Structure 1
Amino acid sequence: MQIGNHILKNNLVVAPMAGVTDRPFRQLCKKMGAGLAVSEMVTSNSLLYGSEKTKRRANHEGEVNPISVQIAGADPKMMAEAAKHNVDNGAQIIDINMGCPAKKICNVMAGSALLKDEPLVAQILRAVVGAVDVPVTLKIRTGWDKQNRNAIQIAKMAEDLGVQALAMHGRTRACAYMGDAEYDTIAAVKQAIKIPLIANGDITTPEKAKFVLDYTGADAVMIGRAAQGRPWIFREIEHYLTTGTHLLPPTVDEIHAVMLEHLHDLYEFYGDLTGMRMARKHISWYTKGLAGSAQFRHTMNTLQTIELQLQAINDFFVELKTKNERLVYIENDADDSETDASSALAA
């Protein structure tokens, strides 16, 4: 798959997720087989460029190319300036967020709220495309609500204004993440445009990825929440799409090693205290559904040092390995219904 002058190694893309797709996670997913990973959204407000959060989100040191940075906002001039700022700081693709359904984003008329104002969408697209000499991509939903699905109009407008690829989540803004994603609108959009289309929404298995690609005719699939704690899903999907067969599940030792590598990257990226706290949600995702993990996750959230965190992880995996060489997930973990306070917002 190609976006502008960038030829991706495959058609598997990591969705931008606030609080998740930081540099350590993007690097890990690329290592595990993703062809492209989009950053968590970066504000277009220049007053925040100097904040620690914004500087971390613009940190691409050592990241595998191409580097795609998502910007969010509702003012065309500010979005254009944000695009230029991020290109100056290493971005090789600029992605525009018109897909995030979060209230704090939509309340300032950014994210998927923009789908309600097509003239403003056109102004933003024209401003950003004109401001940078790298490919510009766009992330949208099917529309504002089920009575107002305007994805085809937005997609054709984007193509006409120079956007070079479109990612589309199969729900409306009003649906948020409720119900099932639908793919008929994505298929209709694919028929209406010539630029690459990336399908997103409820793609959780290799079989589902193949179904969505076949059903919609999309050029690629974008994986979000299904990659949380399961970054190897990209190599599993790539293998299935190539061979029609399944890879063996990862071994306990491999997942232990992948998890530790990820956590050490988080500690280094964020510093000890913030890194330890950021690690908690990833640890929860890695272990969710594993036998005996419910109590482990409760305990993990009480540990206050990296040393205690790592020791608890090592003890858990040693015990797990005595039961199974490969990971075996159980259907009903004791606290499967709990919601992590730090759960991600898929853009």
Structure 2
Amino acid sequence: MSIRTVKDLDLRGKRVLIRVDFNVPLKEGVITDDTRIKAALPTLKYILEQEGSSLVIMSHLGRPKGEKKPEFSLAPVAKRLSELLGRPVEMAADCIGDAVTSRAASLKAGEILLLENVRYYAGETKNDPDFAKKLASLGDVYVNDAFGTAHRAHASTEGVTKFLPSAAGFLIEKEVAFFEPLLKNPEHPFVAIIGGAKVSTKIGVLENLIDKCDTLVIGGGMCYTFLKATGKSIGKSLFEEEFLKTATDLLKKAEQKGTKVILPLDHVCAKAFSEKETPIAVDGANIPEDLIGMDIGVQTLAEIKNALAGARSIVWNGPMGVFEFEAYAKGTVEVAEMVASCKGTTVVGGGDSVAAVNKFGFADRIDHVSTGGGASLEFLEGKVLPGIAALEGSK
């Protein structure tokens, strides 16, 4: 994939329109996690270092669904960004309109204007050409550094590239640099660890990775559909009956390809889905009728550890159990530590698995922790991401 990066653009004296992912969590108007803001800093700082350049920043926040709702304002972000950059960040009252256009045109070197939520307009998610053109008019060049929205063909991620010289920021460049080799030419042995609640959300990922990896580990809530498909008893564990055949077909495909599949050999269960329930260890793949599977057991963890020994490429997407309940977090914690200890190239993608490595303090020992939940999932499925494809071949 050949994409122009921000370093390929001459930014001197230019007004740079940049799309970032500042969709941060807020509680009563206060940012509770500024990870996404910090992730954009290297690109923002690089642009500001270029002689005479100024910045017009755009992002979405939440789902205002085309309406101007104050609770989705980016104003708290402007304040935090100013603190992190150590310079003023002006908050625009809107993202389009005469006042915004006039202010953007008058920006001096080093000045920063943060536009209001682009999803205040329905034209953003509809990728409306007129709306995209209005956004594009605010800059001389365009940089996309919002990997978290790269899987969406929206006006601010794909539409604007039709009107301005465009390039990728450092964040998108890094995401592509790690994901693309993993999916096109991975070093072997290649181990993929896929978890999460439902098979239905991971079918594309499983189908794509079966063709590429040597070992596929399936955990999380989705594993019970696979266990049920193989004739195992799963007790009261949730499963997707309509995807039993899909699970069977995927297991057959893996067998035909010579890909080893690791399903739970034992479990940590509970009598009800509750944080207060006492964990019950089940020694074996079959779960008693009165229990719910909540996490993988020690035998399964040992099997995963053996699979990871000597692995040269590792990708992990999705937790192994109900890790948000402390009593059932062991499987996810230990897998996170195993992945962090691997000598091969390690990539973690997907909201919950990223949250897990951050929560348990392993992020700095993993080669790449993706910033995009849905985007990383679609990348692993082998899909074309519109926000990135729009930057291809423009060198």
TM-score, scaled to structure 1: 0.33
Q: Which of the pair has more CA radius of gyration?
A: 2
- Higher helix proportion (structure 1 or 2): 1
TM-score, scaled to structure 2: 0.30
